Amino acid sequence: MNEARLTEKLSVLADAAKYDVSCASSGSSRSNHNGGLGNASKMGICHSYTSDGRCVSLLKILLTNHCIFDCAYCVSRRSNDVRRAAFTVQEVVDLTMNFYRRNYIEGLFLSSGIFKDADTTMERLVRVAKELRTVHKFNGYIHLKTIPGASEALIHEAGLWADRLSINIEIPSDAELQRVAPEKTHEQAIKPMRYLHKTIVGLKEERAVVKRAPLFAPAGQSTQLIVGATPDSDHTILGLAHGLYQQQGLRRVYYSGYVPISTDVRMPATGSTPMVRENRLYQSDWLLRFYGFSVEDLLTPEQPDLDLDLDPKTAYALRHPELYPVEVNEAPPEMLLRVPGIGQKSVRLILQARRHGRVRMEHLQRMGVVLKRARYFLSFSGTAHALVHRPDRLRPQLIAPLRQKAAQLDLFA
């Protein structure tokens, strides 16, 4: 092993891959059936955390950062003057196996610049996965990037070896994408997504009947949207995400706050996208997927951006005073879920408790309900907070504790 060369490549190709925020190693189910190495745990595991508090779960690297494209938002774009490097298939396999054996990682997330054409790049990614699975009996998690424009045969083969496949849409509207990445369109990303979705659904149905039908991308597909690099509104972003969940059956949409890494003139001269916005988008995404909210509940064309001062559920509650208070001892679960500070676990606990008697405020506190938000929107056997129908006066109350917290954080920063 040439350690010095490998170190150089690893630092270049890990650094270039880190702006892809997807880190999940969950949602798969691959058991160790061949006495080889590893398995994919349903829950996913974060093996370490970087100094910015992000999870390190997978060995996330590019095969190469040589790229024939020139997308303004990307560090690896052709016209950018950065160090270039490329791994061999064997090097990636060795690193993955050896990191995995030491329990450093859950698996591999392999992406790449397009170094010659789409098919050549995709073929190389597939070869890494195939070698890990067949030669080395590796059953850990593999996430491969789908390269837009690659042939369906190659994309299909990728699905046979990988747990998850992803293709990044990056720029939320087609018009903006054309401006910053003239060589790309949304359709190029959606087309392979559609193919994979069809195949995943098809093979799943087959597996239900024929147990030995092959695993095909058991952890599904994901994508990433860059936030704040273009003037696209939160309404555009969430609308797109919602469509992707509905039509392409995506497991996850990731939102990546734009870090101004680029000095390309096509990019806005703004500072970093506030972390809060990224956070609010994730909260909204969660409400869409698990809390029965629709995009229209959260945003409208007239009010196209999320409130940065309040979480989206609290903001919703303040816009709809007519729906509150929600009676703890009577309300159906879907209404309890619309109360700020009450999550799915709390709802389950409340329903269980109701079978035994009246539920009071102190019980909720013990269950872990966030009362500093929930108490304004609930009633207990008919008794509600005095301000429940005064959103104008509630708003400052709900923001104030957050402001204080922020001020304290500043003090210690």
Partner 1 sequence: MRPTWLGMNARHYVYDGSWPGLLTVVFTLFNEKRPALSVVRDRLLVTDLFHDIREVVTDEASATRVQGSARSLLGARRMRDLWTCHLAERADVDRLLVEFLTIAFTGGGVNDTRDVTVLGLRQWRKHVSHEKHQMEAFVRFQENTDGVWTSTIAPAYDVLPLIATHFRKRYPDMEWVIADKLRGYGLYHRNGQVLPVRFVHEKEPLLPAPHIEAAKNESAYVALWKTYFRSVDIPERRNLKLQMQHMPKRHWKHMVEMVAGG
- Interface residues for partner 1 in 341-400 (CB under 8 A)? 349-350, 352-353, 355-357, 359-360, 363, 366-367
Cα 170 to the center of its chain, rounded Å = 12
d(CA 292, CA 295): 10
Is the CB of 254 or the CB of 316 nearer to partner 1? 254
Cα 10 to the center of its chain, rounded Å = 24
Structure tokens at 249: 């059956």
Residue 88 sits in the site that holds partner 1 (CB under 8 A) = no
Is the CB of 126 or the CB of 349 nearer to partner 1? 349
d(CA 184, CA 186): 7
d(CA 111, CA 128): 11
Q: How far is the CB of 149 from partner 1 (least distance, A)?
A: 28
d(CA 121, CA 87): 12
Residue 128 sits in the site that holds partner 1 (CB under 8 A) = no
Instruction: Walk across the sheet containing 164-166 and list its strands.
Output: 58-62, 107-111, 141-145, 164-166, 221-227, 252-257
Residue 53 sits in the site that holds partner 1 (CB under 8 A) = yes
One residue of 52, 81, 302, 410 binding partner 1 per CB under 8 A? 52
- Interface residues for partner 1 in 239-268 (CB under 8 A)? 259
* Cβ-based neighbour number of residue 109 at 10 Å: 26
Burial class (CB in 10 A: 0-12, 13-18, 19+), 272: exposed
Residue 50 sits in the site that holds partner 1 (CB under 8 A) = yes
Task: Say how many residues touch partner 1, by CB under 8 A.
Answer: 55
Residue 81 sits in the site that holds partner 1 (CB under 8 A) = no
Residue 405 sits in the site that holds partner 1 (CB under 8 A) = no
Residue 406 sits in the site that holds partner 1 (CB under 8 A) = no
Window contacting partner 1 (CB under 8 A); options: 10-18, 113-121, 311-319, 372-380: 10-18
One residue of 85, 95, 241, 342 binding partner 1 per CB under 8 A? 95
Q: How far is the CB of 170 from partner 1 (least distance, A)?
A: 18
Contacts of residue 105, Cβ cutoff 8 Å, sequence gap at least 6: 47, 56, 57, 58, 59, 96, 99, 140
Burial class (CB in 10 A: 0-12, 13-18, 19+), 50: exposed
Residue 404 sits in the site that holds partner 1 (CB under 8 A) = no
Structure tokens at 283: 């909260």
Residue 411 sits in the site that holds partner 1 (CB under 8 A) = no
Contacts of residue 148, Cβ cutoff 8 Å, sequence gap at least 6: 118, 167, 184, 188, 189, 191, 192
Residue 327 sits in the site that holds partner 1 (CB under 8 A) = no
Residue 212 sits in the site that holds partner 1 (CB under 8 A) = no
Strands (E) located in 21-151: 48-49, 55-56, 58-62, 107-111, 141-145
Q: How far is the CB of 405 from partner 1 (least distance, A)?
A: 12
Residue 410 sits in the site that holds partner 1 (CB under 8 A) = no
Is the CB of 57 or the CB of 248 nearer to partner 1? 57
Residue pair 167/145 in contact (Cβ under 8 Å)? The answer is yes
Q: Residues 272-311: x/- map of binding to partner 1 (CB under 8 A)?
A: x--x------------------------------------
d(CA 84, CA 410): 39
Residue 178 sits in the site that holds partner 1 (CB under 8 A) = no
One residue of 83, 104, 202, 320 binding partner 1 per CB under 8 A? 104
One residue of 24, 26, 38, 326 binding partner 1 per CB under 8 A? 38
Contacts of residue 98, Cβ cutoff 8 Å, sequence gap at least 6: none
Residues of the shown chain interacting with partner 1 in the complex, contacts defined by CB under 8 A: 1, 3, 6-7, 10-11, 14-15, 17-18, 31-32, 35-39, 41, 43, 45-56, 59-60, 95, 98-99, 101-104, 259, 272, 275, 349-350, 352-353, 355-357, 359-360, 363, 366-367
